[in-house]
Amino acid sequence: MKHIAPAELKARLAAGDKLQLLDVREAWEHQTACIDGALLMPMGQVAARVAELDPAAETVVICHHGGRSMQVAGLLERRGFSSVINLTGGVDAWARTVDPSMPVY
């Protein structure tokens, strides 16, 4: 599994890279703070909803601090996803290093 720092993800998004952003936090967390373009699919729903995702797409998995997303990234790899990336530090690190206007919780 690969990892990506928030600043590198921001640069890739700004460059127009086609990335599938998967936010595995709960709905209330996503409503509090989210990265634009991320699909909300809470961790507990991923196994049942995996068909909604493109297994060939480069997929960045996002959570609050990086733990849940790492678990989901492993699940996606086991399900045959070809390129899965964990956002290091999650939205907390994104808010602290990339977007200071984003609420932290």
Active site residues: 63
Complete DSSP assignment for 65-87: SSHHHHHHHHHHHHTT-SEEEEE
Instruction: Please give the distance of CA 104 from its chain centroid, rounded to a whole number.
Output: 16
Q: Which residues contact 58 (CB under 8 A, 6 or more apart)?
A: 17, 18, 19, 20, 83, 85
